[in-house]
């Protein structure tokens, strides 16, 4: 962990006010551990969300709070780091699956993750919120819907004096956040970070920053891919993994709404639109620090790409992209992460002018543990249109920027859906396969960076009334990458521990260390996308296909940032049902692709 020379002194007797040692100090200021973690106030407040349960009761969510006692004694108001989650008493949080614990009186003891251990001594409060229908909150789990977004927003409002909190789940004794400065930062991985996105999209006052890690921006894009059904289960099945017993007994209507709103047709519905935060990204006023894995095959990286691109230009932002999968930066770049997050919160929650807003906007891992900073993201690229060209080998050809010759005669390439996997398709890239098409560029003469969101337009026919399409981009050449397909998704958990902050009885600041898990490959998939051909016209309604009739469809591939080294080739693979990630359309159609009307749009820095 980076340790800076302290530029702050504390005069506890006059309120623990942070005062710079010298007005002319050239180095950035930082908050320092001046408060007692052992003596911190630990309490729970139940905040009224303004909503009612299916039984007509007001929904209150439990907010477990830990904050410096000395600050309250001295009348110093403190900012809040908040993580709103459904997982605190079910799956747990972090690499070690930590759960909240309480003493016999119900007072919170263990606050999962390191935020409390590290930041409370530095003058922050940490607030961990149980989303509606989970743990000690009432109401229903609605999978990113109105109730869960209200769970987070209501607590931000309460911290700013605009909502009502209570000392118990059902009592009438009110609790006020008189100790709060009103500045709130929401953070969290996966579902937690998703709620941070949703709350930010409401434009709520007082939310100064959000740090979504591997977070969803549209729940449709978690469960669907342009009409294709991703193998992620169903929203109602996810509910059953986190809901408390009261919600399990009382929220059948909510689960029924989730089921009816997520039809297997892949249609975009009102239910999905309610859970799409991207259209409301224009409301975001908070700064945004996004962390995502380009190989995250749980929360697909399209989620960060579309969120980032939709944010207003006025929003100050930062981005970390890792080669790992669905992994917290605490476990793939720990010391740098803690230091960067410390500076980020100091600036946006405490107002310390430490210059982090002027740091490089994006930091990307192109090789294991090798990071590159850039002033923006995506980096400035030249949009390329690449075309597939047939060769004498069936289903195998070349990929280049030369458009097909103007002709009215289609050039058909054919394959059959056999529900195999993209990992099978990329083997033997020079050989014919009945299950896919593959087109490869010449060997690159220089490194070529892909930065952004590729998109493909395919014109295809199907022998059946429904069909899936998959497009995969592959780096062909020897590479060493993070082993994101292994159980740790690019990391290995060690037996040693390192400590980040202060420990207390029942809440240790020491966490298992991790190391990078690497593997070698000769064909690395760098982006993929899926679609249901029946959604060629719109996501709103799936059309039945007329056999052997051409349909034109355009869909996005995963947002990414990758370098294709000199000497390697870039390949485009087109298949049907990618059994690793999507369900089939219900049959095994024969598919024909018209190469003259198929084009890959890709953001690249170089050429070939």
pLDDT tens-digit readout, 231-288: 999 999 999 999 999 999 999 999 999 999 999 999 999 999 999 999 999 999 999 9
User: Average of pLDDT values for 4-25?
Assistant: 37
Residue 6 lies in a domain: no
pLDDT digits (tens, 9 = 90+) for 56-89: 999 999 999 999 999 999 999 999 999 999 999 9
Residue numbers of the domain that contains 217: 39-374
Highest mean pLDDT among 12-21, 51-60, 132-141: 132-141
Q: Is 328 a catalytic residue?
A: no
What secondary structure does DSSP assign to 555-596, as a single string? EE---EEEEE-TT-EEEEEEES--TTTB---SS--EEEEEGG
Q: Are 420 and 435 in contact (CB under 8 A)?
A: yes
Instruction: Determine the average pLDDT of the residues in 524-537.
Output: 98
Of the candidates 132, 151, 190, 262, the residue annotated as catalytic is 190
Number of domains in the chain: 2
In this structure, the strands spanning 370-374 and 362-367 are: antiparallel
- The CA-atom distances, in angstroms, between 75 and each of 10, 12, 155, 181 are 14, 11, 21, 11
pLDDT at 443 over 50: yes
Please report, for residues 100, 113, 114, 292, the alpha-carbon distance to residue 493 in angstroms, rounded to integers and kept in the order given. 22, 16, 17, 20
- Pair (308, 434) in one structural domain: no
Confidence of residue 606 (pLDDT cuts 50, 70, 90): confident
Cα three-residue angle 100-102-108, rounded to 5 degrees: 75
Q: Indicate if 525 and 444 belong to the same structural domain.
A: yes
Between the two ends of the chain, the Cα-to-Cα distance in Å is: 43
Query: What is the predicted pLDDT for the residue at 11?
Result: 32
User: Residue 20: pLDDT above 60?
Assistant: no
pLDDT greater than 70 at residue 37? yes
CA 600 to CA 592: how far, in whole Å? 17
Same domain, 308 and 457: no
Give dist(CA 589, CA 464) in Å, integer: 5
- Which one of 349, 374, 399 terminates a domain? 374
- Of 351, 374, 397, the last residue of a domain is 374
The catalytic residue among 226, 292, 326, 535 is: 326
Return d(Cα 484, Cα 579) in angstroms, integer: 18
**26: in domain:** no
The verdict on 509 and 542 lying in the same domain is yes
Q: What percent of the chain has pLDDT over 70?
A: 95
32 occurs within a structural domain: no
Closest residue by Cα to residue 41 from 119, 108, 112: 108
One domain for residues 246 and 163: yes
Concerning whether 508 is annotated as a catalytic residue, the answer is: no
Domain assignment of residue 3, yes or no: no
Predicted local confidence at residue 532, as pLDDT = 98
Q: Is residue 527 within 8 Å of 450, Cβ to Cβ?
A: yes
Final residue belonging to a domain, choices 327, 351, 374:
374
Phi first, then psi: give them for residue 398, nearest 5 degrees: -110, 155
Mean pLDDT of 339-361: 97
DSSP state of 3: -
pLDDT of 1 > 50? The answer is: no
In a domain, 110, yes or no: yes
Q: Does the structure show a pLDDT above 90 at 382?
A: no
* Domain annotation covers residue 448: yes
Q: Evaluate whether residue 15 is within a structural domain.
A: no
Same domain, 184 and 312: yes
Q: Are 526 and 475 in contact (CB under 8 A)?
A: yes
Pairing assessment for the beta strands 41-52 and 58-67 based on DSSP bridges: antiparallel
**pLDDT confidence of residue 405:** 85
* Residue 608: pLDDT over 90: no
More confident position, 406 or 273? 273
What b/e readout covers 564-587, taking b as 16+ CB neighbours within 10 angstroms? beeebbbbbbbbbbbbebbbbbee
> Taking Cα atoms as reference points, which of 75, 77, 84 lies closest to residue 47?
84
- With 80 as the cut, is the pLDDT of residue 447 above it? yes
Q: Do both 338 and 483 map to the same domain?
A: no
Strands 287-293 and 317-322: parallel
Q: Which residue has the tokens 């230091």?
A: 339
Same domain for 327 and 417? Answer: no
Residue 188 has pLDDT above 50, yes or no: yes
Q: d(Cα 592, Cα 431) in Å, to the nearest integer?
A: 18
Compute the chain's Rg from CA coordinates: 26
Q: Report, as an integer, the average pLDDT of 359-388.
A: 94
Pairing of strands 455-462, 590-594: antiparallel
Strands (E), 98-230: 101-102, 108-110, 125-130, 165-166, 174-175, 180-189, 207-213, 224-225, 228-229
How far from the centroid of its chain's Cα atoms is residue 322's Cα? 12
Please state, in angstroms and rounded to a whole number, the distance separating the CA atoms of residues 280 and 560: 23
Mean pLDDT of 125-142: 98
Please state, rounded to an integer, the average pLDDT across all residues of the chain. 94
Same domain, 401 and 451: yes
3-state SS assignment for residue 423: helix
* pTM: predicted TM-score of the whole model, two decimal places: 0.94
Residues 425 and 292 placed together within one structural domain of the fold: no
Give the model's confidence band at 15: pLDDT under 50 very low, under 70 low, under 90 confident, else very high. Answer: very low
296 belongs to the catalytic site = yes
Q: Do residues 400 and 384 touch, judged by C-beta distance below 8 A?
A: no
Strands 180-189 and 207-213: parallel
Same domain? 76 vs 194: yes
* CATH at residue 467: 2.60.120.260
CA-nearest of 531, 568, 533, 564 to 547 is 533
Tell how far CA 288 is from the center of its chain: 12
Which residue in the list 296, 331, 507, 561 is annotated as catalytic? 296
Query: In terms of domains, do 470 and 583 share one?
Result: yes
Distance from C-alpha of 550 to C-alpha of 146, rounded to nearest angstrom: 40
E strands present in 217-350: 224-225, 228-229, 287-293, 317-322
pLDDT for 9 = 34
**Residue among 517, 518, 526, 516 at smallest CA distance from 565:** 526
How many other β-carbons are positioned within 10 Å of the β-carbon of residue 125? Answer: 27
Q: Chain centroid to CA 590: how far? A: 35
Give the pLDDT band of residue 380 (cuts 50, 70, 90).
confident
Q: Quote the pLDDT of residue 371.
A: 98
Which of the residue ranges 15-19, 27-31, 565-569 would you say has the lowest mean pLDDT? 15-19
Q: What is the pLDDT of residue 28?
A: 47
Strand positions, DSSP E, 368-464: 370-374, 382-390, 396-400, 412-416, 436-440, 448-452, 455-462
pLDDT at 86: 98
pLDDT over threshold 80, residue 12: no
Distances (CA, A) of 572 to 5, 431, 472: 52, 14, 6
| The predicted structure's pLDDT at residue 27 | 52
Supply φ then ψ for residue 318, to 5 degrees.
-150, 150
What's the CATH number where 259 sits?
A: 3.40.50.1820
Is 533 part of any domain?
yes
Task: Report H helices in 409-449.
Answer: 422-425
pLDDT in tens, 283-339: 999 999 999 999 999 999 999 999 999 999 999 999 999 999 999 999 999 999 999
Full DSSP string of 458-488: EEEEESSS--EEEEEEEEEEEEEEE-TTSTT
Whether 492 has a pLDDT exceeding 90, the answer reads: yes
């Amino acid at each position: 962990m980076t340790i800076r020379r302290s530029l702050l002194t504390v005069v506890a007797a006059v309120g623990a006010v942070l005062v710079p040692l010298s007005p002319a100090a050239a180095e950035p200021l930082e908050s320092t551990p001046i408060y007692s973690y052992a003596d911190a106030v630990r309490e729970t407040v139940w905040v009224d969300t303004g909503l009612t349960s299916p039984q007509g009761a007001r929904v209150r969510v439990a907010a477990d709070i830990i904050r410096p006692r000395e600050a309250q004694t001295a009348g110093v108001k403190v900012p809040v780091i908040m993580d709103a989650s459904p997982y605190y008493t079910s799956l747990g949080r972090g690499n070690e699956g930590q759960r909240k614990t309480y003493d016999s009186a119900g007072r919170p003891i263990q606050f999962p993750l390191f935020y409390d251990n590290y930041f409370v001594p530095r003058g922050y409060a940490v607030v961990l919120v149980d989303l509606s229908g989970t743990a000690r909150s009432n109401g229903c789990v609605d999978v990113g819907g109105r109730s869960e977004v209200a769970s987070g927003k209501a607590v931000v409002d309460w911290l700013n004096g605009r909502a009502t909190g209570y000392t118990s789940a059902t009592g009438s004794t009110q609790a006020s956040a008189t100790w709060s400065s009103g500045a709130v930062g929401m953070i969290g991985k996966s579902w937690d970070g998703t709620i941070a996105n949703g709350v930010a999209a409401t434009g709520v006052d007082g939310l100064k920053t959000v740090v979504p890690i591997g977070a969803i921006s549209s729940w449709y894009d978690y469960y669907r891919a342009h009409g294709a059904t991703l193998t992620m289960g169903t929203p109602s099945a996810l509910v059953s993994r986190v809901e408390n017993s009261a919600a399990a007994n009382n929220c059948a209507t909510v689960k029924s709404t989730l089921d009816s709103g997520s039809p297997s047709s892949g249609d975009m519905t009102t239910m999905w639109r309610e859970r799409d935060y991207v259209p409301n990204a224009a409301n975001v006023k908070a700064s945004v620090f996004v962390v995502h894995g380009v190989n995250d095959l749980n929360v697909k990286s399209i989620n960060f790409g579309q969120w980032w691109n939709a944010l207003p230009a006025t929003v100050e932002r930062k981005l970390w992209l890792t080669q790992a999968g669905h992994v917290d930066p605490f476990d793939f770049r720990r010391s740098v992460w803690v230091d960067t997050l410390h500076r980020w919160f100091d600036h946006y929650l405490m107002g310390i002018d430490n210059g982090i807003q002027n740091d490089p906007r994006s930091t990307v891992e192109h090789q294991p543990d090798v990071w590159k900073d850039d002033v923006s993201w995506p980096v400035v690229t030249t949009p390329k249109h690449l075309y597939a060209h047939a060769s004498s080998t069936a289903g195998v050809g070349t990929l280049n920027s030369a458009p097909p010759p103007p002709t009215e005669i289609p050039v058909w390439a054919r394959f059959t859906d056999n529900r195999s996997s993209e990992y099978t398709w990329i083997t033997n890239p020079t050989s014919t396969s009945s299950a896919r098409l593959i087109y490869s560029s010449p060997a690159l003469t220089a490194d070529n960076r892909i930065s952004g969101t590729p998109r493909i337009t395919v014109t295809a026919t199907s022998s059946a009334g429904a069909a899936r399409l998959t497009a995969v981009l592959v780096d062909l050449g020897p590479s060493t990458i993070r082993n994101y397909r292994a159980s740790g998704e690019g990391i290995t958990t060690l037996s040693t521990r390192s400590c980040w902050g202060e420990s207390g009885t029942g809440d240790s600041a020491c966490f298992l260390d991790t190391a990078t898990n690497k593997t070698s490959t000769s064909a690395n998939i760098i982006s993929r996308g899926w679609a249901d051909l029946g959604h060629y016209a719109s996501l709103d309604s799936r059309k039945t296909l007329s056999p052997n009739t051409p349909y034109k469809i355009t869909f996005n591939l995963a947002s990414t940032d990758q370098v294709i080294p000199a000497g390697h080739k870039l390949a485009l693979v087109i298949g049907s049902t990618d059994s690793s990630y999507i369900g089939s359309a219900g049959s095994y159609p024969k598919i024909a692709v018209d190469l003259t009307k198929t084009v890959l749009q890709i953001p690249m820095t170089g050429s070939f």
